[in-house]
Amino acid sequence: MTRKVRARVRAGVLEPLDAIDLPDGTEVTLTIEEVPDRTAADEAFARAWGGWRGLVDADKLIAEIYEARLRPGRGSGA
């Protein structure tokens, strides 16, 4: 049986964050996949916020998108 179990490293030891439900002594194989630091991703997103301000007329862009959706053609099923 294969399943994913989240864990955290503390003092070099993996501590499961999810229930394991295996008998003591059961041998398993671990595949380690680091989870990206969400704080860094959130900070990068915050830095990018408003980057298009002044470059695009948002109201005009939204109007053009809605108009394009009303036109027959690609993606409209016509």
Q: List, as one string, the DSSP characters of 18-76.
A: S-----TT--------PPP-HHHHHHHHHHHTTTTTTTS-HHHHHHHHHHHHHSSSTTT
In this prediction, residue 74 carries a pLDDT of 62
Model confidence, pTM: 0.42
The full set of domain ranges for the chain reads: 7-70
> Can you give the pLDDT at residue 25?
94
**What are the pLDDT tens digits along the chain (78 aa)?**
788 899 999 999 999 999 998 999 999 998 988 887 778 878 888 888 888 778 888 889 999 999 999 888 765 555
Structure-token pair, residue 74? 């690609």
- Please give, one letter per residue, the 3-state secondary structure of 9-34: EECCEEEECCCCCCCCCCCCCCCCCC
